[in-house]
């Protein structure tokens, strides 16, 4: 067996464990069964979940048996937040989101072959539990003082809004999951984010009290940026894994824009590159920072992991084509729309003078400046140099019948959208 715990440490993926020496021995004597839970409280997983999915994959690649849990039951309750009660989603919404998350998770684990992963939904064992069963068989093993002492619960109790019994009970439901998976699949390890430490321990204690067995928890640290700003923060919120919530192009650009101070640690965390490859890329960052080899490797690897090779190829082709190093006409409409989404936009019609489009888009400050740009050979429509001052946009200029890429010089872009 690969010493996967040492590998996770090297990659910066270990924050705490219940008993690291015992866990290391169990992993060495394995294979063991392990799980991580994902609640459908949104229609997509995000960058924080990506860390957990990669940990699951590392463990499976090391020969251990993966169980991925999507919380169709716990998703109807919601993990208590630091402040404020969650809005409870309808059963239909949670069911829909459960399906979406299951499809996303399936990309990261091998569900076939000699060591197939297992996908489960905790609604299967929680929805049939009566209130009497819950109180007699589970509730009697929990001590109120311990539950009240959990960090999030204690903070909420000190706040003006307090905490409902619904959210207070979440930690018990998560404990039930560990116990049920221990009984059904022999699971002895749960992984999760370090902010979930208290909830994860709930299952450890419940298994100990009901089965008399020792099980383990392993948490990942909160991923931060070197400059202290929050990792995964974008103008649109989280770095979502679903392409309909964050386009593959925008997703790729997020990783491509990683700072030199962050990129090596992110390569360790978010890719499966070997130590030797990452060390070579670290040298490239130090010696050839302008080439951004590490950033391009990171962006390509993570985008391929999440969206697949075909989407990554389309994104890279779009990035090159925008600046004249590829064929714009070969880009599909969705990728082109995503690639130009952050550019200045101007509405046009067939027959609009190119000079007007340049001015109205803000690429040039005035008509005189636009004429100078044309005369100097620095004005482009769809990467084709504009030679005539009186040129107009024509029907054949419309990419997918809608878009026209405008460029001044080498790097200043805008998009004209036909109405």
Contact yes or no for 179/206 (Cβ under 8 A): yes
Contact yes or no for 335/405 (Cβ under 8 A): no
Rg (CA), the chain: 26
Q: At what angle do helices 260-270 and 293-307 cross, to 10 degrees?
A: 40
3-state DSSP assignment of residue 215: coil
**31: cis peptide before it, omega within 30°?**
yes
Q: What is the DSSP string of 69-101?
A: EE-TTGGGT-PPPSSSPPPPPPHHHHHHHHHHH
Contact yes or no for 344/415 (Cβ under 8 A): yes
Contact yes or no for 277/214 (Cβ under 8 A): no
Q: What is the DSSP string of 323-378?
A: TTSS-GGGS-HHHHHHHTTTS-EEEE-TT-BHHHHHHHTTSSSSHHHHHHHHHTT-
Report the alpha-carbon distance of residue 401 to residue 418 in Å, rounded: 8
Please state the separation of Cα 404 from the chain's center in Å: 31
Paired with 196 in beta bridges are none
Contact yes or no for 220/191 (Cβ under 8 A): yes
Contact yes or no for 219/191 (Cβ under 8 A): yes
State yes or no: 174 annotated in a binding site: yes
State yes or no: 170 annotated in a binding site: yes
Q: Kind and range of the H or E element at 119?
A: strand 118-121
Annotated binding site for ATP: 233
Annotated binding site for L-tyrosine: 35, 170, 174
Annotated binding site: 35, 170, 174, 233
């Amino acid at each position: 067996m690969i010493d996967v715990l040492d590998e996770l440490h090297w990659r910066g993926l270990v924050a705490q464990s219940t008993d690291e020496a015992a866990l290391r021995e169990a992993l060495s004597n394995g294979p063991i069964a392990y799980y991580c839970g994902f609640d459908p409280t949104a229609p997509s997983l995000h960058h924080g979940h990506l860390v957990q999915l990669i940990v699951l994959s590392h463990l499976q690649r090391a020969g251990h048996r993966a169980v991925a849990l999507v919380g169709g039951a716990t998703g109807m309750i919601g993990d208590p937040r630091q402040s404020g009660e969650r809005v409870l989603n309808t059963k239909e919404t949670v069911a829909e989101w459960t399906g979406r998350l299951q499809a996303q998770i399936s990309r990261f684990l091998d569900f076939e072959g000699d060591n197939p992963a297992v996908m489960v939904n905790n609604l299967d064992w929680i929805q049939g539990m009566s209130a009497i069963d819950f109180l007699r068989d589970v509730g009697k093993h929990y001590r109120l003082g311990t539950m009240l002492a959990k960090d999030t619960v204690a903070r909420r109790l000190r706040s003006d809004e307090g905490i409902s019994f619904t959210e207070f009970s979440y930690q018990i439901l998560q404990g039930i999951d560990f116990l049920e998976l221990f009984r059904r699949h022999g699971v002895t390890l749960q992984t999760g984010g370090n902010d979930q430490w208290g909830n994860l321990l709930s299952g450890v204690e419940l298994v100990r009290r009901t089965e008399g067995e020792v099980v383990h928890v392993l948490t990942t640290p909160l991923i931060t940026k070197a400059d202290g700003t929050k990792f995964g923060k974008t103008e649109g919120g989280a770095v979502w894994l679903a392409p309909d919530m964050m386009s593959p192009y925008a997703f790729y650009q997020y990783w491509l824009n990683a700072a030199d101070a962050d990129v090596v640690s992110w390569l360790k965390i978010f890719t499966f590159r070997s130590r030797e490859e990452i060390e070579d890329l670290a040298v490239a960052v130090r010696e050839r920072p302008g080439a951004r080899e590490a950033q391009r490797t990171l962006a390509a690897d993570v985008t391929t992991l999440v969206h697949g090779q075909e989407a990554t190829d389309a994104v890279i082709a779009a990035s090159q084509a925008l600046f004249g190093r590829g064929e714009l006409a070969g880009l599909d409409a969705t990728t082109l729309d995503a690639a130009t989404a952050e550019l200045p936009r101007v509405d046009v019609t067939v027959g609009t003078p190119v000079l007007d489009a340049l001015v109205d888009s803000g690429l040039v400050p005035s008509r005189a400046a636009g004429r100078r740009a044309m005369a100097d050979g620095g004005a482009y429509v769809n990467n084709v140099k504009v030679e005539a001052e009186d040129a107009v946009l024509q029907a054949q200029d419309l990419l997918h019948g809608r878009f026209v890429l405008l460029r001044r010089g080498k790097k200043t872009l805008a998009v004209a959208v036909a109405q």
